[in-house]
Structure 1
Amino acid sequence: MKPYLICHMMPSVDGRIVGDRWKITGGYKEYERTGASFKTDGWMCGRVTMEGYAGKASFSGKAVGRNIPREDFIAPHKGKSYAVALDPSGRLNWKSNHIDADHIVEILAEKVSDSYLEFLQKKNISYIFGGKTQIDLKRVLEKLGKYFQIKKLLLEGGGKINGSFLAAGLIDELSLLLMPVADGTIGTASLFDIETPSRKKSVSRLKLLATKKLTSDILWLRYKVQK
Protein backbone atom coordinates (compact mmCIF):
# COMPACT_ATOMS: atom_id res chain seq x y z
CA MET A 1 0.00 0.00 0.00
CA LYS A 2 1.28 3.43 -0.89
CA PRO A 3 1.32 6.18 1.78
CA TYR A 4 -1.46 8.76 1.94
CA LEU A 5 0.11 11.68 0.07
CA ILE A 6 -0.58 15.29 1.04
CA CYS A 7 0.79 18.03 -1.20
CA HIS A 8 1.52 20.88 1.25
CA MET A 9 2.48 24.21 -0.34
CA MET A 10 2.26 27.99 0.12
CA PRO A 11 1.46 29.57 -3.28
CA SER A 12 0.49 33.13 -4.18
CA VAL A 13 -3.12 33.75 -5.24
CA ASP A 14 -2.00 33.27 -8.86
CA GLY A 15 -0.29 29.96 -8.13
CA ARG A 16 3.38 30.99 -8.07
CA ILE A 17 5.57 29.20 -5.52
CA VAL A 18 8.84 31.17 -5.53
CA GLY A 19 8.16 33.49 -2.63
CA ASP A 20 11.51 35.09 -1.84
CA ARG A 21 10.12 38.58 -2.69
CA TRP A 22 6.78 38.30 -0.90
CA LYS A 23 7.85 39.08 2.69
CA ILE A 24 4.69 37.77 4.35
CA THR A 25 5.07 38.02 8.13
CA GLY A 26 4.69 34.63 9.77
CA GLY A 27 4.18 32.79 6.48
CA TYR A 28 6.87 30.16 6.94
CA LYS A 29 5.99 29.68 10.60
CA GLU A 30 2.37 28.99 9.69
CA TYR A 31 3.49 26.65 6.92
CA GLU A 32 5.57 24.58 9.35
CA ARG A 33 2.84 24.58 12.00
CA THR A 34 0.08 23.45 9.64
CA GLY A 35 2.32 20.83 8.07
CA ALA A 36 3.17 19.40 11.50
CA SER A 37 -0.54 19.16 12.32
CA PHE A 38 -0.90 16.27 9.84
CA LYS A 39 1.45 14.13 11.96
CA THR A 40 3.01 12.48 8.94
CA ASP A 41 5.82 9.93 8.90
CA GLY A 42 8.00 12.08 6.65
CA TRP A 43 8.28 14.64 3.88
CA MET A 44 9.46 14.59 0.27
CA CYS A 45 11.19 17.21 -1.89
CA GLY A 46 13.17 17.36 -5.11
CA ARG A 47 16.89 17.92 -5.51
CA VAL A 48 16.74 21.70 -5.85
CA THR A 49 14.83 22.13 -2.59
CA MET A 50 17.04 19.60 -0.80
CA GLU A 51 20.14 21.58 -1.77
CA GLY A 52 19.08 23.96 0.98
CA TYR A 53 19.86 21.18 3.45
CA ALA A 54 22.71 19.34 1.71
CA GLY A 55 24.53 22.35 0.23
CA LYS A 56 24.65 23.62 -3.36
CA ALA A 57 27.95 21.91 -4.22
CA SER A 58 27.11 18.81 -6.29
CA PHE A 59 28.67 15.44 -5.50
CA SER A 60 31.83 14.83 -7.52
CA GLY A 61 33.37 11.67 -6.10
CA LYS A 62 36.07 9.69 -7.83
CA ALA A 63 35.26 6.47 -9.66
CA VAL A 64 35.36 3.34 -7.53
CA GLY A 65 37.01 0.11 -8.60
CA ARG A 66 33.93 -2.06 -8.27
CA ASN A 67 30.41 -2.39 -9.58
CA ILE A 68 27.78 -1.88 -6.90
CA PRO A 69 24.53 -3.82 -7.47
CA ARG A 70 21.47 -1.68 -8.11
CA GLU A 71 19.69 -2.95 -5.02
CA ASP A 72 17.79 -0.92 -2.46
CA PHE A 73 19.88 -0.06 0.60
CA ILE A 74 18.25 0.44 4.01
CA ALA A 75 20.84 1.99 6.32
CA PRO A 76 20.79 1.43 10.08
CA HIS A 77 18.86 4.26 11.71
CA LYS A 78 16.96 5.00 14.89
CA GLY A 79 14.55 7.64 13.65
CA LYS A 80 10.97 6.90 12.66
CA SER A 81 10.53 10.00 10.53
CA TYR A 82 12.02 10.47 7.07
CA ALA A 83 13.27 13.16 4.71
CA VAL A 84 12.84 11.77 1.18
CA ALA A 85 14.93 13.30 -1.61
CA LEU A 86 14.05 12.80 -5.28
CA ASP A 87 17.55 12.83 -6.77
CA PRO A 88 17.60 10.47 -9.80
CA SER A 89 21.15 11.26 -10.95
CA GLY A 90 22.72 11.32 -7.49
CA ARG A 91 23.92 14.90 -7.10
CA LEU A 92 23.15 15.84 -3.50
CA ASN A 93 26.35 16.12 -1.47
CA TRP A 94 25.10 15.26 2.00
CA LYS A 95 27.13 16.05 5.11
CA SER A 96 24.98 13.87 7.36
CA ASN A 97 22.44 11.07 7.12
CA HIS A 98 19.66 13.05 8.77
CA ILE A 99 17.87 16.41 8.73
CA ASP A 100 17.05 17.24 12.34
CA ALA A 101 15.60 13.92 13.54
CA ASP A 102 14.54 12.75 10.06
CA HIS A 103 16.54 9.95 8.43
CA ILE A 104 17.41 10.75 4.80
CA VAL A 105 16.16 8.45 2.04
CA GLU A 106 17.45 9.07 -1.50
CA ILE A 107 15.29 8.15 -4.52
CA LEU A 108 17.60 7.21 -7.38
CA ALA A 109 17.56 5.95 -10.95
CA GLU A 110 19.76 2.97 -11.80
CA LYS A 111 21.89 5.22 -14.05
CA VAL A 112 23.47 6.70 -10.89
CA SER A 113 27.24 6.26 -10.50
CA ASP A 114 28.84 3.56 -8.35
CA SER A 115 30.81 6.27 -6.55
CA TYR A 116 27.58 7.93 -5.41
CA LEU A 117 26.18 4.65 -4.08
CA GLU A 118 29.41 4.07 -2.17
CA PHE A 119 29.19 7.61 -0.81
CA LEU A 120 25.64 7.03 0.47
CA GLN A 121 26.54 3.71 2.04
CA LYS A 122 29.47 5.23 3.91
CA LYS A 123 27.21 8.04 5.13
CA ASN A 124 24.56 5.51 6.26
CA ILE A 125 22.00 7.15 4.00
CA SER A 126 19.25 4.86 2.76
CA TYR A 127 18.42 4.74 -0.94
CA ILE A 128 15.84 3.07 -3.14
CA PHE A 129 15.63 2.77 -6.91
CA GLY A 130 12.64 3.99 -8.87
CA GLY A 131 13.63 2.79 -12.34
CA LYS A 132 16.50 2.54 -14.81
CA THR A 133 16.51 6.08 -16.18
CA GLN A 134 13.10 7.47 -15.15
CA ILE A 135 11.41 7.36 -11.76
CA ASP A 136 8.25 5.27 -11.36
CA LEU A 137 6.54 7.39 -8.71
CA LYS A 138 3.97 4.80 -7.71
CA ARG A 139 6.67 2.19 -7.26
CA VAL A 140 8.66 4.60 -5.10
CA LEU A 141 5.71 5.30 -2.82
CA GLU A 142 5.00 1.59 -2.45
CA LYS A 143 8.63 0.98 -1.46
CA LEU A 144 8.53 3.78 1.10
CA GLY A 145 5.52 2.13 2.67
CA LYS A 146 7.08 -1.33 2.59
CA TYR A 147 10.59 -0.56 3.82
CA PHE A 148 9.94 2.33 6.22
CA GLN A 149 6.29 1.80 7.22
CA ILE A 150 5.45 5.30 5.98
CA LYS A 151 1.67 5.62 6.08
CA LYS A 152 1.33 9.38 5.58
CA LEU A 153 3.73 11.62 3.66
CA LEU A 154 3.98 15.34 2.85
CA LEU A 155 4.90 16.27 -0.72
CA GLU A 156 6.63 19.67 -0.80
CA GLY A 157 8.09 19.73 -4.28
CA GLY A 158 8.50 22.16 -7.12
CA GLY A 159 5.93 22.54 -9.86
CA LYS A 160 7.21 19.70 -12.04
CA ILE A 161 7.48 17.20 -9.18
CA ASN A 162 4.04 18.12 -7.83
CA GLY A 163 2.65 17.99 -11.35
CA SER A 164 4.10 14.55 -12.00
CA PHE A 165 2.53 13.11 -8.85
CA LEU A 166 -0.80 14.79 -9.62
CA ALA A 167 -0.87 13.59 -13.24
CA ALA A 168 -0.11 10.05 -12.03
CA GLY A 169 -3.12 10.16 -9.70
CA LEU A 170 -0.96 9.72 -6.60
CA ILE A 171 -1.85 12.84 -4.58
CA ASP A 172 -4.68 12.24 -2.11
CA GLU A 173 -5.01 15.69 -0.56
CA LEU A 174 -3.94 19.29 -1.16
CA SER A 175 -3.03 21.58 1.73
CA LEU A 176 -2.52 25.11 0.44
CA LEU A 177 -1.56 28.15 2.44
CA LEU A 178 -2.71 30.84 0.05
CA MET A 179 -0.43 33.83 0.50
CA PRO A 180 -2.07 37.30 0.30
CA VAL A 181 -0.02 38.40 -2.68
CA ALA A 182 -0.36 38.40 -6.47
CA ASP A 183 3.01 37.61 -8.01
CA GLY A 184 2.46 37.78 -11.76
CA THR A 185 6.04 36.91 -12.71
CA ILE A 186 6.06 35.21 -16.12
CA GLY A 187 8.17 32.06 -16.28
CA THR A 188 8.13 31.46 -12.51
CA ALA A 189 7.42 27.95 -11.21
CA SER A 190 3.79 27.35 -10.34
CA LEU A 191 2.07 24.95 -7.99
CA PHE A 192 1.62 22.29 -10.69
CA ASP A 193 3.54 22.21 -13.96
CA ILE A 194 2.35 19.10 -15.79
CA GLU A 195 4.25 17.97 -18.86
CA THR A 196 1.67 16.02 -20.84
CA PRO A 197 0.41 16.14 -24.43
CA SER A 198 -3.19 15.87 -23.26
CA ARG A 199 -4.87 18.88 -21.65
CA LYS A 200 -7.74 16.67 -20.51
CA LYS A 201 -5.43 14.41 -18.50
CA SER A 202 -3.86 17.38 -16.73
CA VAL A 203 -7.17 18.37 -15.08
CA SER A 204 -7.90 17.05 -11.56
CA ARG A 205 -11.21 17.63 -9.80
CA LEU A 206 -11.05 18.67 -6.14
CA LYS A 207 -13.49 18.53 -3.21
CA LEU A 208 -13.16 21.23 -0.57
CA LEU A 209 -12.53 19.79 2.90
CA ALA A 210 -11.84 22.88 5.02
CA THR A 211 -10.92 26.55 5.03
CA LYS A 212 -9.33 28.59 7.80
CA LYS A 213 -8.02 32.13 8.03
CA LEU A 214 -4.56 32.30 9.61
CA THR A 215 -2.32 35.21 10.63
CA SER A 216 -1.34 37.92 8.12
CA ASP A 217 -4.44 37.23 5.97
CA ILE A 218 -3.14 33.78 4.97
CA LEU A 219 -5.92 31.40 3.95
CA TRP A 220 -5.49 27.66 4.60
CA LEU A 221 -7.36 25.57 2.05
CA ARG A 222 -7.66 21.79 2.15
CA TYR A 223 -8.94 19.72 -0.76
CA LYS A 224 -9.48 16.04 -1.41
CA VAL A 225 -8.30 15.00 -4.86
CA GLN A 226 -11.12 13.16 -6.58
CA LYS A 227 -10.06 10.08 -8.53
Structure 2
Amino acid sequence: MKIICHMISSVDGRLYPSRWGSPQEPADITTLYEGVAKRFPAQGWIVGRTTMSDYCDEVKEGDPAPLRDADAPQSPAFVGNREGRPIAVAIDPKGKLLPEINALPTGEHLVLVLGARVAESHLEKLRAAGVSYVFEGEGGSNREKLAPALKALEDLFGAKTLLLEGGGIINGAFLTAGLIDEISVIVYPGLDALFGSAAIFGVKAQENQLPGAGAHLKLLDNETLEGGAVWLHYNVKND
Protein backbone atom coordinates (compact mmCIF):
# COMPACT_ATOMS: atom_id res chain seq x y z
CA MET A 1 0.00 0.00 0.00
CA LYS A 2 1.10 3.54 -0.77
CA ILE A 3 0.63 6.22 1.90
CA ILE A 4 0.69 9.83 0.73
CA CYS A 5 0.73 12.43 3.51
CA HIS A 6 -1.34 15.25 2.00
CA MET A 7 -1.51 18.49 4.02
CA ILE A 8 -1.96 22.24 3.78
CA SER A 9 0.00 24.51 6.10
CA SER A 10 0.99 28.09 6.66
CA VAL A 11 4.40 29.25 5.46
CA ASP A 12 5.76 28.36 8.91
CA GLY A 13 4.36 24.83 8.71
CA ARG A 14 1.40 25.27 11.09
CA LEU A 15 -1.92 23.48 10.77
CA TYR A 16 -4.77 25.65 12.11
CA PRO A 17 -6.18 27.83 9.28
CA SER A 18 -8.18 29.93 11.75
CA ARG A 19 -4.85 31.29 13.04
CA TRP A 20 -3.30 32.16 9.68
CA GLY A 21 -3.00 35.68 8.37
CA SER A 22 -4.87 36.39 5.15
CA PRO A 23 -2.92 36.65 1.88
CA GLN A 24 -2.82 39.76 -0.29
CA GLU A 25 -4.48 37.76 -3.07
CA PRO A 26 -7.65 35.67 -2.35
CA ALA A 27 -7.16 31.92 -2.04
CA ASP A 28 -9.78 29.47 -0.75
CA ILE A 29 -8.15 26.89 1.52
CA THR A 30 -10.65 24.10 0.88
CA THR A 31 -10.54 24.55 -2.89
CA LEU A 32 -6.76 24.46 -2.89
CA TYR A 33 -6.59 21.39 -0.67
CA GLU A 34 -9.26 19.31 -2.35
CA GLY A 35 -8.10 20.27 -5.82
CA VAL A 36 -4.66 18.77 -5.24
CA ALA A 37 -6.09 15.75 -3.38
CA LYS A 38 -8.06 14.78 -6.49
CA ARG A 39 -4.81 14.38 -8.40
CA PHE A 40 -4.03 11.23 -6.44
CA PRO A 41 -5.83 7.96 -7.32
CA ALA A 42 -6.56 7.13 -3.68
CA GLN A 43 -9.27 4.84 -2.35
CA GLY A 44 -9.72 6.90 0.81
CA TRP A 45 -7.98 8.79 3.60
CA ILE A 46 -6.68 8.37 7.14
CA VAL A 47 -6.91 10.69 10.16
CA GLY A 48 -6.62 10.38 13.92
CA ARG A 49 -9.46 10.05 16.40
CA THR A 50 -9.66 13.74 17.30
CA THR A 51 -9.63 14.91 13.70
CA MET A 52 -12.46 12.52 12.82
CA SER A 53 -14.65 13.61 15.74
CA ASP A 54 -14.05 17.26 14.79
CA TYR A 55 -14.80 16.50 11.13
CA CYS A 56 -18.17 14.81 11.63
CA ASP A 57 -20.75 15.57 14.34
CA GLU A 58 -22.19 12.05 14.09
CA VAL A 59 -18.85 10.51 15.12
CA LYS A 60 -18.68 11.47 18.77
CA GLU A 61 -15.79 10.86 21.15
CA GLY A 62 -16.41 9.26 24.53
CA ASP A 63 -14.55 7.31 27.18
CA PRO A 64 -12.14 4.51 26.25
CA ALA A 65 -13.82 1.21 25.42
CA PRO A 66 -13.53 -1.66 27.91
CA LEU A 67 -10.85 -4.26 27.23
CA ARG A 68 -11.33 -7.99 26.73
CA ASP A 69 -9.62 -10.38 29.10
CA ALA A 70 -6.06 -11.18 28.10
CA ASP A 71 -6.93 -14.87 27.60
CA ALA A 72 -10.10 -14.18 25.59
CA PRO A 73 -9.83 -14.73 21.82
CA GLN A 74 -9.60 -11.65 19.61
CA SER A 75 -12.58 -10.98 17.39
CA PRO A 76 -12.00 -10.81 13.63
CA ALA A 77 -12.13 -7.61 11.62
CA PHE A 78 -15.55 -6.53 10.39
CA VAL A 79 -16.61 -5.13 7.01
CA GLY A 80 -19.89 -3.21 7.04
CA ASN A 81 -22.04 -2.24 4.08
CA ARG A 82 -19.55 -0.19 2.11
CA GLU A 83 -21.60 0.02 -1.11
CA GLY A 84 -18.52 0.77 -3.20
CA ARG A 85 -17.75 4.02 -1.40
CA PRO A 86 -14.19 5.25 -0.69
CA ILE A 87 -13.11 4.73 2.90
CA ALA A 88 -12.43 7.22 5.70
CA VAL A 89 -10.15 5.63 8.27
CA ALA A 90 -9.78 6.83 11.86
CA ILE A 91 -6.97 5.55 14.07
CA ASP A 92 -8.74 4.87 17.38
CA PRO A 93 -6.70 2.37 19.44
CA LYS A 94 -8.57 3.04 22.69
CA GLY A 95 -12.01 2.70 21.13
CA LYS A 96 -13.16 6.19 22.09
CA LEU A 97 -15.20 6.91 18.96
CA LEU A 98 -18.93 6.13 19.03
CA PRO A 99 -20.19 6.62 15.46
CA GLU A 100 -23.91 6.95 14.83
CA ILE A 101 -23.47 6.49 11.07
CA ASN A 102 -21.35 4.28 8.82
CA ALA A 103 -20.98 6.81 6.00
CA LEU A 104 -19.81 10.39 6.40
CA PRO A 105 -21.80 13.32 4.95
CA THR A 106 -19.05 13.60 2.31
CA GLY A 107 -19.82 10.04 1.18
CA GLU A 108 -16.98 7.90 2.56
CA HIS A 109 -17.55 4.63 4.42
CA LEU A 110 -16.19 4.81 7.97
CA VAL A 111 -13.50 2.35 9.08
CA LEU A 112 -11.90 2.37 12.53
CA VAL A 113 -8.47 1.04 13.44
CA LEU A 114 -8.82 -0.31 16.98
CA GLY A 115 -6.47 -1.65 19.59
CA ALA A 116 -6.23 -5.43 19.63
CA ARG A 117 -7.83 -5.75 23.08
CA VAL A 118 -10.95 -3.63 22.60
CA ALA A 119 -13.82 -5.59 24.15
CA GLU A 120 -16.57 -7.39 22.26
CA SER A 121 -19.22 -5.16 23.85
CA HIS A 122 -17.78 -2.16 22.00
CA LEU A 123 -17.44 -4.10 18.76
CA GLU A 124 -21.11 -5.04 18.93
CA LYS A 125 -22.07 -1.36 18.97
CA LEU A 126 -19.91 -0.69 15.92
CA ARG A 127 -21.39 -3.62 14.02
CA ALA A 128 -24.90 -2.49 14.89
CA ALA A 129 -24.08 0.92 13.36
CA GLY A 130 -22.59 -0.76 10.28
CA VAL A 131 -19.15 0.69 10.99
CA SER A 132 -16.21 -1.36 9.73
CA TYR A 133 -13.12 -1.99 11.84
CA VAL A 134 -9.70 -3.59 11.71
CA PHE A 135 -7.09 -3.96 14.42
CA GLU A 136 -3.62 -2.64 15.16
CA GLY A 137 -0.77 -5.05 15.68
CA GLU A 138 0.25 -5.77 19.26
CA GLY A 139 3.94 -4.81 19.01
CA GLY A 140 5.44 -1.86 20.84
CA SER A 141 6.64 0.25 17.91
CA ASN A 142 4.54 2.41 15.61
CA ARG A 143 5.43 0.18 12.68
CA GLU A 144 4.43 -3.00 14.52
CA LYS A 145 1.08 -1.39 15.35
CA LEU A 146 0.28 0.32 12.06
CA ALA A 147 1.62 -2.04 9.40
CA PRO A 148 -0.84 -4.90 10.19
CA ALA A 149 -3.74 -2.43 10.10
CA LEU A 150 -2.67 -1.14 6.68
CA LYS A 151 -2.42 -4.71 5.36
CA ALA A 152 -5.94 -5.40 6.63
CA LEU A 153 -7.23 -2.26 4.90
CA GLU A 154 -5.64 -3.40 1.66
CA ASP A 155 -6.86 -6.99 1.94
CA LEU A 156 -10.42 -6.23 3.05
CA PHE A 157 -11.13 -2.96 1.24
CA GLY A 158 -8.81 -3.11 -1.77
CA ALA A 159 -7.07 0.08 -0.65
CA LYS A 160 -3.88 0.44 -2.70
CA THR A 161 -3.35 4.16 -1.97
CA LEU A 162 -4.56 6.19 1.01
CA LEU A 163 -4.08 9.87 1.82
CA LEU A 164 -2.78 10.51 5.33
CA GLU A 165 -4.45 13.76 6.40
CA GLY A 166 -4.08 13.74 10.18
CA GLY A 167 -2.70 16.08 12.76
CA GLY A 168 0.93 16.19 13.77
CA ILE A 169 0.76 13.25 16.18
CA ILE A 170 -0.74 10.69 13.80
CA ASN A 171 1.38 11.96 10.90
CA GLY A 172 4.43 11.66 13.16
CA ALA A 173 3.51 8.08 14.07
CA PHE A 174 3.42 7.11 10.39
CA LEU A 175 6.67 8.99 9.76
CA THR A 176 8.60 7.24 12.53
CA ALA A 177 7.13 3.92 11.41
CA GLY A 178 8.66 4.47 7.96
CA LEU A 179 5.24 4.08 6.33
CA ILE A 180 4.97 7.35 4.38
CA ASP A 181 5.82 6.95 0.68
CA GLU A 182 5.12 10.48 -0.52
CA ILE A 183 4.49 13.91 1.00
CA SER A 184 2.20 16.46 -0.65
CA VAL A 185 2.16 19.88 1.01
CA ILE A 186 0.33 23.01 -0.05
CA VAL A 187 2.06 26.02 1.49
CA TYR A 188 -0.60 28.67 2.00
CA PRO A 189 0.52 32.32 1.90
CA GLY A 190 -0.17 33.08 5.54
CA LEU A 191 1.60 32.90 8.89
CA ASP A 192 0.72 31.58 12.35
CA ALA A 193 3.93 32.39 14.27
CA LEU A 194 2.71 31.13 17.68
CA PHE A 195 5.42 29.16 19.48
CA GLY A 196 4.36 25.55 19.87
CA SER A 197 1.36 25.69 17.53
CA ALA A 198 0.67 22.29 15.91
CA ALA A 199 2.79 21.46 12.88
CA ILE A 200 2.53 18.89 10.06
CA PHE A 201 4.61 16.40 12.06
CA GLY A 202 4.80 16.38 15.84
CA VAL A 203 6.81 13.54 17.37
CA LYS A 204 7.30 13.60 21.13
CA ALA A 205 11.01 12.96 21.57
CA GLN A 206 14.08 14.18 23.45
CA GLU A 207 16.01 17.11 21.97
CA ASN A 208 18.93 14.84 21.11
CA GLN A 209 16.66 12.52 19.11
CA LEU A 210 16.05 13.09 15.40
CA PRO A 211 12.68 11.51 14.54
CA GLY A 212 12.66 12.87 10.98
CA ALA A 213 16.22 11.95 10.08
CA GLY A 214 15.29 8.55 8.64
CA ALA A 215 13.03 10.02 5.93
CA HIS A 216 14.93 11.21 2.86
CA LEU A 217 12.97 13.42 0.44
CA LYS A 218 13.25 13.88 -3.31
CA LEU A 219 11.22 16.58 -5.06
CA LEU A 220 8.83 15.11 -7.63
CA ASP A 221 6.84 18.20 -8.56
CA ASN A 222 6.10 21.77 -7.58
CA GLU A 223 3.52 24.26 -8.75
CA THR A 224 2.29 27.75 -7.94
CA LEU A 225 -1.44 27.69 -7.23
CA GLU A 226 -4.18 30.30 -6.84
CA GLY A 227 -3.37 33.24 -4.58
CA GLY A 228 0.32 32.44 -4.44
CA ALA A 229 0.01 29.11 -2.64
CA VAL A 230 2.74 26.63 -3.56
CA TRP A 231 2.33 22.87 -3.96
CA LEU A 232 5.35 20.69 -3.13
CA HIS A 233 5.33 16.96 -3.87
CA TYR A 234 8.07 14.66 -2.56
CA ASN A 235 9.00 11.01 -2.74
CA VAL A 236 10.12 9.59 0.62
CA LYS A 237 12.88 7.00 0.98
CA ASN A 238 12.82 5.52 4.48
CA ASP A 239 15.80 3.99 6.27
Decide: shared fold, TM above 0.5: yes
CA contact (8 A) 2:203 2:211 kept: no
Give 5+ residue unaligned stretches, structure 1. Answer: none
The answer as to 2:77 corresponding to 1:72 is yes
AA aligned to 2:101 is: S
AA aligned to 2:162 is: L
1:35 to 22, 34, 37: 37
* Residues in 1 aligned to 2:73 and 2:60: alpha-carbon distance in whole angstroms: 24
Equivalence for 2:108: 102
User: Is 171-180 or 113-122 further displaced after alignment?
Assistant: 113-122
CA contact (8 A) 2:137 2:146 kept: no
Aligned residues between the structures: 222
CA distances 1:75-99 after superposition (whole Å, capped 9, x unpaired): 2321241011111111222121012
Using the aligned pairs only, state the percent identity: 36
CA contact (8 A) 1:120 1:126 kept: yes
CA distances 1:163-189 after superposition (whole Å, capped 9, x unpaired): 111111110100000011221112211
Equivalence for 1:116: 122
Q: 1:185 to 1:140 in 2, by over 3 A?
A: same
Task: Tell me the SS of whatever aligns to 1:166.
Answer: helix
CA contact (8 A) 2:46 2:91 kept: yes
CA contact (8 A) 1:111 1:133 kept: no
The answer as to 2:64 corresponding to 1:58 is no
CA contact (8 A) 1:16 1:183 kept: yes
Query: How far off its partner does 1:58 sit?
Result: 2.5
CA distances 1:137-191 after superposition (whole Å, capped 9, x unpaired): 1111111111111011100011011111111111010000001122111221111
User: Is 171-180 or 126-135 further displaced after alignment?
Assistant: 126-135
**Root mean square deviation of aligned Cα:** 2.4
2:180 to 161, 171, 175: 171
Q: TM-score, normalised by structure 2?
A: 0.84
Equivalence for 1:202: 212
CA contact (8 A) 1:59 1:91 kept: yes
Give 5+ residue unaligned stretches, structure 2. Answer: 67-71
Q: 1:118 to 1:59 in 2, by over 3 A?
A: farther
Query: How far off its partner does 1:132 sit?
Result: 4.5
1:10 to 8, 14, 18: 8
